[in-house]
């Protein structure tokens, strides 16, 4: 398996994975053809040096997992960098095979390379298995997260 930077041709498969769960199907618009808004978002992510959208592919070059890693520069922690992991998905045919762990280990190592002092993520409380998985990787639920949906 290889982890590589996502390409425009991967967007369809990424969105398909994002939409393929109980929460994702409520917020994604996966259809054929894929709406242009996803390709536009991909271009913004791809052109931003603080964003890394990656995929993991199997030996047949099939996209079987993805995550987005964002690097946030801020003033606290003496001008530190925080790495944020988002949109982690593994194709349903490949779950429980260590692919998610491989993606996370890659993201943690990449965060170190970029000089981040912390790697963080959020997970929906409706995903207890995800929370258990993140804790198994050493993440702690040290903060209470809050969101305000404005659209």
CB 53 within 8 A of CB 45: yes
Alpha carbon distance 104, 99 (integer Å): 9
In a domain, 143, yes or no: no
Instruction: Render pLDDT for 60-115 as a digit per residue (tens, 0 to 9).
Output: 889 999 999 999 999 999 999 999 999 999 999 998 899 999 999 999 999 999 99
In a domain, 97, yes or no: yes
In a domain, 144, yes or no: no
Which helix (H) or strand (E) segment holds residue 54: the answer is strand 51-57
In a domain, 149, yes or no: no
CB 8 within 8 A of CB 36: no
In a domain, 116, yes or no: yes
56: domain CATH number is 3.40.630.30
Cα–Cα separations (whole angstroms), residue 131 to 3, 6, 115, 125: 23, 25, 26, 8
In a domain, 142, yes or no: no
In a domain, 148, yes or no: no
Q: How many domains does the chain have?
A: 1
Is residue 22 pLDDT above 80, yes or no?
no
Confidence (pTM): 0.89
The reply to whether omega before 81 is within 30° of 0 (cis) is no
């Amino acid at each position: 398996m290889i982890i590589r930077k996502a390409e425009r041709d991967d967007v369809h498969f990424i969105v398909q994975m994002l939409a393929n769960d109980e929460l994702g199907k409520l917020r994604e618009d996966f259809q054929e053809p894929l709406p242009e808004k996803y390709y536009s978002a991909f271009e913004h992510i791809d052109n931003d040096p603080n964003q890394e959208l990656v995929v993991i592919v199997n030996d047949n070059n099939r996209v079987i997992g993805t995550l987005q890693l964002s690097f946030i520069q801020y003033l606290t922690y003496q001008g530190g960098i925080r790495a944020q992991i988002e949109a982690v998905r593994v194709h349903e045919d490949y779950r429980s095979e260590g692919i998610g762990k491989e993606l996370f280990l890659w993201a943690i190592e990449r965060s170190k390379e970029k000089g981040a002092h912390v790697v963080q993520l959020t997970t929906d409380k409706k995903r207890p298995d995800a929370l258990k998985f993140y804790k198994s990787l050493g993440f702690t639920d040290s903060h209470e997260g809050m969101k305000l949906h404005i659209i």
